[in-house]
Amino acid sequence: MNLQDYAKNQVDELSGGMKRRLVLARALINRPSIIFLDEPTTGLDPDARQDFWKLVTQLKQGGAGVLLTTHYMDEAQRLCDRLLLMQHGRVVDEGTPTELIERTVGKEVIEVEGVDEQQLQQLASQYQTWYRSFGSGYLLGLPDNAIWEQLTHLNAPSLSRRPTNLEDVFLRLTGESLAQP
């Protein structure tokens, strides 16, 4: 957990992130076969999160079972073999990250700003795909290139396509942002 340099420090002298590392190190000291981690990277800086992700991967490769709760979809996509997506205490879907992504949102999405919602609704209906508000614009499923071609002709001020991720899945399934209760 890279705490060697702090071995002589008192716990109350450690930063919040260092305290999180210490708690995790204490939990793993007896090499348990099953590990329950409840939002373990909250408060960790990006380097500490990367170190934690390496540790979880090593634990899994060593045969440990890991149950992880997280609000970070990138973390879930990277670390989990199987997921239960929950909203308000209810399971809304389950599967591997790849299964959930392909089944729910497809392989690519379009992010667009400056296009009238009615136009997007018509395109989504025409191409039998989905759309939803996203930041100051919209997120739209990309079932094939034809919809992309039509959108490029609308001269939207912002138009991009990208691979889908678990956050897209969560937003599509729940219809809410991650910040909403």
Mean pLDDT calculated for residue range 152-169: 92
> Cα dihedral sign for 79, 81, 87, 88?
negative
Query: Which of the four pLDDT bands, split at 50, 70 and 90, describes residue 139?
Result: very high
| Mean pLDDT calculated for residue range 149-175 | 90
pLDDT score for 135? 86
Question: Which pLDDT tens digit goes with each residue over 71-101?
Answer: 899 999 999 999 998 888 889 999 999 999 9
- pLDDT per residue over 17-53, tens digit each? 788 778 888 888 888 999 998 888 887 788 888 888 8
User: Which of 140, 138, 142 shows the shortest CA–CA distance to 113?
Assistant: 138
Mean pLDDT of 42-67: 87
pLDDT at 177: 44
Q: What is the pLDDT of residue 31?
A: 85
Q: What is the pLDDT of residues 123-134, one digit of tens each?
A: 999 999 999 988
Structural domains of the chain ordered from first start: 4-69 (3.40.50.300), 108-163 (3.30.70.260)
C-alpha dist (Å) from residue 171 to 50, 70, 128: 25, 15, 18
pLDDT of residue 179: 43
